Chain A
Amino acid sequence: MEKFFELLTQMNPFDLIQVIFWGVAGAISFYFSIGNARVWTSISIGFFLIFLSQAYGINPWGHYQKLTAFHYIIGTVAIMTITHGFLEYYVFCRTFEISGNKLIVYISTIAVLAVSGAFLVINPTPSPNTIRNFKMVENAIWVFLCVMNLEIVRKIYAAIKDSDISKGFIAFGIVFICIFIWRGSDLYLQIFQWDKDWQDIISLMTEESSDIEEYIGRVELSQEVSRYAGLLSGISVAGSFAYMYRLLK
């Protein structure tokens, strides 16, 4: 616990606020999944998993590299679960079919995470470069699936626009735009090797050089965009679920 509070004091206040907002969003979405129809479970669980993936900064055991990698895997599973949920909702809007049950969603998510954990356990301890690769894959998947989810949300809205909760899907559209900018700017930095992780790696590798100094303006802009979009993502998720909760009450 002492270690946990030590980590909290060491954290950048901005990052800490972001984690807190993701915590609130995660709590609301998890609560939402309990009291609502089965189709919402995947979506809610997915958003809750984002909080877990973002919480590595306050994880007392975060210095374990396998655990750090696991945080990124959780992030990947999160967006996949969310996408699955929105796809199910879209199928419902077209066919009005509701199948499966909540327990299977919970168990399946836990099972996928357990298999991912086992994958990390049976493999060698990831190097900083490998962990960066995990992070880059996560960002790439997030960016791709955010675009896909924006389209799904648009279609869902078009199908149910005269129902009570249609505006809630506009809110989710805003969420995915924020996440797309957040993850997209991060991915941009990673692709051009201007991210902090890569800079830390090359500082130990004398033969590698970086052109970051030449593009410092766009790097700083991307970093700021990533930070604020990340914060806005957390706020928008919490707000969207609160709004949706009110609409369905």
Chain B
Amino acid sequence: MFLLPKGSPLFENLAVSKLKLPDVLTKLSNGAFTGYASFIFQSSTAILVFEAGKLVSVLVEGENGKRETGFEALSALAELMITTGSGALNVYKLSKDLTMCIHALLEGEILYKAQDLKLIDINTLLKKVKDDQMNGCLRIYTDEHSAMIFYKDGNPLGFFHDGASDIETSSSESQKIAGLPGAKIDLFSTQSADALMGTNLLEVTNIQIIWDTCVALHKSEIDKTNLERQERDRKIVSQKLAELEDQVKSIVGEYVGKVGRGIVDKEISDNGGNSCLIDADGAEKFMKGVERAAKLLVSGTNIKLMMEKLSSALSTGKIEF
């Protein structure tokens, strides 16, 4: 995303995670704001251009350079605000004319795109801009540098280049870039500021619904992720419990014989499933039950040995959970 002139800052570096898009838009709209709001995320940037409180332009540019405008851009912005949990909001007030030029830059008609300056008669082009009384923006750039000239009714409003924070009246930087090898130009034109006033995205979109849908979608995504994680955790726990149960059965079977496995099954069932093996009270009841049944089948000496082994296995097992 190219840099834009900062104008006069209203807010800078507001944490996006604490904001709600409908509230931000309502506030700027109700305040008859003219200028732009930029949302800076780690991998995306969104620019919202306001003209006297009317949202005239929205642009969201992703990490891969993919651009979205209008309704899609609003939806994408809402989604970014909800899902990223980070980002900063900057709001800059601009003059009505400059706002019009920003709109041209973002969403205006492209007259020239990436044209090599060497192949263009720049003087003829500037004359055409003047003669046609164009509103718009001429962008001159190389791979490393960029400068913009904003026009109103064919007359330059000012110059803006990388590294600057505001509009300048001097054209020297623009001329310097134009002189660099490989310099290219883009020319964007737009309607007049007055004509732009007829557009208000806030009137044709229900931002509250967009926001609520995104919130609900995000919540359902989180719920789904949580559910998947819980399911995964449950599977892991259940697998570990099954292993512990098998170990317990082997110990009891070693001393009691094949009926030992049946005794373990019965005690586990009586104590609410194999989760009792990792629960302090459940494990105690389970041990008592196994001991009571084993007394009918095994010598006292072997019961003592078996209970020691069981106790040790359950203690080790509990640590793993």
Contact = CB atoms under 8 A, between A and B. Distances in A.
Q: Do A and B bind each other?
A: yes
Interface of A: 36-37, 39-40, 89, 92-93, 95-98, 159-166, 247-249
Interface string B240-257: 000000000000000011
A164 B302 contact: yes
Nearest to B265: A96
A166 B299 CA distance: 11
B40 interface: no
A160 B257 contact: yes
Contacts of B298: 163-165, 248
Contacts of B259: 93, 96, 159-160, 163
B293 A165 contact: no
A40 B292 CA distance: 13
Nearest to B298: A164
The 7 A-B residue pairs whose C-beta atoms are closest, nearest first, are A162-B257, A163-B257, A96-B266, A163-B297, A164-B298, A37-B295, A96-B263
Given A37-B295, A165-B296, 18 more contacts: A37-B292, A37-B296, A40-B296, A92-B296, A96-B263, A96-B266, A96-B293, A159-B259, A160-B257, A161-B257, A163-B257, A163-B259, A164-B297, A164-B298, A164-B299, A247-B299, A248-B295, A249-B299
A165 B297 contact: yes
9 contacts: A37-B296, A96-B259, A98-B296, A160-B257, A162-B258, A163-B297, A163-B298, A164-B297, A164-B302
B257 A95 contact: no
B257 A248 contact: no
A119 B300 CA distance: 44
A171 to B, nearest CB: 15
Most chain A CB atoms below 10 A, which of B259, B266, B298: B259
Contacts of B273: none
A248 B299 contact: yes
A27 to B, nearest CB: 21
A77 B97 CA distance: 114
B262 interface: yes
Contacts of A163: 256-257, 259, 297-298
Contacts of A162: 257-258
A43 to B, nearest CB: 11
B297 A95 contact: no
Contacts of B42: none
Given A96-B259, A96-B266, A164-B302, A36 B295 contact: yes
A72 B266 CA distance: 41
B210 to A, nearest CB: 63
Contact of B292 (A98, A160, A166, A249): A98
Interface string B140-161: 0000000000000000000000
Nearest to A248: B299
Nearest to A161: B257
Contacts of B267: 96
B301 interface: yes
B300 A248 contact: yes
Contacts of A98: 292-293, 296
Contacts of B296: 37, 39-40, 89, 92, 98, 165
A52 to B, nearest CB: 26
Interface in B209-253: none
A37 B292 CA distance: 8
A167 to B, nearest CB: 12
Given A163-B256, A164-B298, A248-B299, A95 B293 contact: no
A96 B256 contact: no
A97 B300 CA distance: 20
Given A37-B292, A160-B257, A162-B257, A96 B297 contact: no
Contacts of A39: 296
A76 B262 CA distance: 35
Contacts of B300: 248-249
Nearest to A95: B266
A39 B295 CA distance: 10
Nearest to B262: A96
Contacts of B295: 36-37, 248
B263 to A, nearest CB: 5
A40 B296 CA distance: 8
A220 B232 CA distance: 80
Nearest to B267: A96
A96 B301 CA distance: 21
Contacts of B292: 37, 98
Nearest to A36: B295
A249 B296 CA distance: 11
